[in-house]
Amino acid sequence: MSERRGRSGGRAARQAARAARLADDVPFLTRRLAPFEILAEEGLELIEHNADTILEEIGIEVTDHPTALRLFAGAGADVDGTRVRFPRGLVRSIITATTPSVYTQHARNPARSVEIGGASTVFAPAYGSPFVRDAEGGRRYATIADFRNFVKLAYASPAIHHSGGTVCEPVDEPVTTRHLDMIDAHIRYSDKPFMGSVTAGSRAEDTVEMARIAFGGDLAGRTVITSLINASSPLTWDGTMLAAAEVYARHQQASIFTPFILAGAMAPVTPAAVCTQVLAESMVGIAFSQLVNPGAPAVLGAFVSTIDMQSGAPTFGTPETALVMYAVAALARRLDVPFRTGGHLCASKVADAQAAYESAAVMQPTMLAGTNFVLHAAGWLEGGLTMGYEKFVLDADQLGAYAKIADGLDLSENGQGMSAFRENEPGVHFLGTQHTLENFEAAFWKSSLADANSYEQWAEEGSKDANTRATARWQSMLAQYEQPPLDDAIAAELADYVARRKADLPESEY
């Protein structure tokens, strides 16, 4: 019997080892660990009730988008100028009727397609920084070369599942055509899924057209773009963002409807009130997408941080933010829609202990909350103003650990490891036991950037801190980067589309 147990343990261990070797290559995480719930049912109901009270009594401003006003009125909302008030329960019923609880975002390499919603978690790079920073060049305006570098780094990072969107603002390209270069870079330098332009309806149309080319001319109803649609909190949806969302919904592409909140400024200072506002605002965004095209994929988003009440400066990694993330994740589960929050956020200007402490204080609850789509999972510095090369690889390294967290505690016979105790005398180390040998490869996540060597060895190797090691890492990743295959005809058609649109569009001021 013990022999049979041994063999069975051995097989399980070999499977675990294979799984571990492959873990870095999975296109997204599948959580077996249940999310951390910080509120009981009645607490969540209270917040839902309050969100409905806001939608009914105060309503939402919808500016510069007559179609949205018409759609909301048609669905039963009370539209008074640009103010839209919703009878209690209306928004929820629109959402739950048709919003998918999970959807597949197809990548041009099918092995990279991701599921967004349910038990899945997808990591994407930071988004929107006008500046970049690296240890040698310091802080400077981002360029399209930087943009392409970060697309390449995300492609080369096994724990990053998604190419992201505006990984940095290529400010050397004209505002009117910048989106073309960004989408082109995502398609050309990566085969992971990506995000689309949201700065105008026409740019969303360009995104869809370029995606169509990348996917061989026909999307065939597939969702291949997930884009970031921000509310103008408090309680306002702006016409520009809604125009982009409308284009995406019409084409069956996904939008993440995200209140962008620094609590104290764009929302009240108390976390429960922040949860209420996030729910009210994001629900209206999702409902809009369903009115445009019932069944279009939509994500409930929550970008939430805080401010320093003395200076007004944005602060990150604060405990209040963590509490909001846990609660809003639970509210999204009750709506049965995918949820986005968090990332490795910080206020720090450099990739130092402050950056890591703040980032971890956002990322840990992001993961434990059961978040489905994690934007800003790597690179974020300085409240999002700067995309850091060193920060990017340090964050990406940390993301690898979350695959093991997502797995939860293995209670299989191999996991219980009773054979190890039976084999080993008290006082004897387990390094040589059969159970250890069988589980050797799968045992323990190992950072690829942390230094666990002795002090003496570390000193001999130059006493390099994490930031210094990170510089070497991103440089070697870029040096070793190999472009994923792209059909020549598709590449040519893409280039032609970009050239044609650039000729059509006026060059704006930079």
| CA-based nearest residue to 443, from 408, 398, 416, 404 | 404
Using alpha carbons, list the distances in angstroms from residue 274 to 40, 50, 237, 302, 328.
18, 11, 17, 10, 9
Tell me how far apart the alpha carbons of residues 239 and 235 are, in angstroms, rounded to a whole number: 13
* Residue 414: CB minimum distance to a copy of itself, A: 7
- Which tokens sit at 111? 């092995």
* Residue 244: CB minimum distance to a copy of itself, A: 20
CA atoms within 13 A on the CB side of 361: 18
Give the largest Cα separation in the chain, rounded.
Answer: 79
* Residue 93: CB minimum distance to a copy of itself, A: 22
* Residue 417: CB minimum distance to a copy of itself, A: 3
Tell me whether residue 311 or residue 480 sits nearer to a copy of itself (CB atom): 311
Q: Do 179 and 199 touch, CB atoms closer than 8 A? A: yes
Tell me phi and psi for residue 199, to 5 degrees. -85, -5
Strands (E), 150-280: 226-231, 236-238, 254-263
Tell me whether residue 45 or residue 487 sits nearer to a copy of itself (CB atom): 45
* Residue 437: CB minimum distance to a copy of itself, A: 10
Tell me whether residue 368 or residue 374 sits nearer to a copy of itself (CB atom): 368
Tell me whether residue 199 or residue 424 sits nearer to a copy of itself (CB atom): 424
Tell me whether residue 93 or residue 270 sits nearer to a copy of itself (CB atom): 270
* Residue 500: CB minimum distance to a copy of itself, A: 39
- Which tokens sit at 177? 């055509």
Residue 114 class from Cβ within 10 Å (0-12 exposed, 13-18 middle, 19+ buried)?
Answer: buried
* Residue 209: CB minimum distance to a copy of itself, A: 34
* Residue 280: CB minimum distance to a copy of itself, A: 9
* Residue 398: CB minimum distance to a copy of itself, A: 6
Tell me whether residue 202 or residue 424 sits nearer to a copy of itself (CB atom): 424
Tell me how far apart the alpha carbons of residues 382 and 93 are, in angstroms, rounded to a whole number: 39
- Where is 208: in which H helix or E strand? helix 201-214
Residue in the structure block whose two tokens are 């069988």:
438
Tell me whether residue 431 or residue 503 sits nearer to a copy of itself (CB atom): 431
Tell me how far apart the alpha carbons of residues 197 and 202 are, in angstroms, rounded to a whole number: 9
Residues 6 or more apart whose Cβ sits within 8 Å of residue 131:
139, 140, 141, 142, 168, 382, 385, 386, 387
* Pairing mode, strands 29-30 and 60-63: unpaired
Tell me whether residue 416 or residue 483 sits nearer to a copy of itself (CB atom): 416
Tell me whether residue 116 or residue 363 sits nearer to a copy of itself (CB atom): 363
Tell me whether residue 89 or residue 294 sits nearer to a copy of itself (CB atom): 89
Tell me phi and psi for residue 134, to 5 degrees. -140, 165
* Residue 353: CB minimum distance to a copy of itself, A: 4
Tell me phi and psi for residue 294, to 5 degrees. -55, 130
Cα-atom radius of gyration of the chain, to the nearest Å?
24
Neighbours of 181 (CB within 10 A): 17
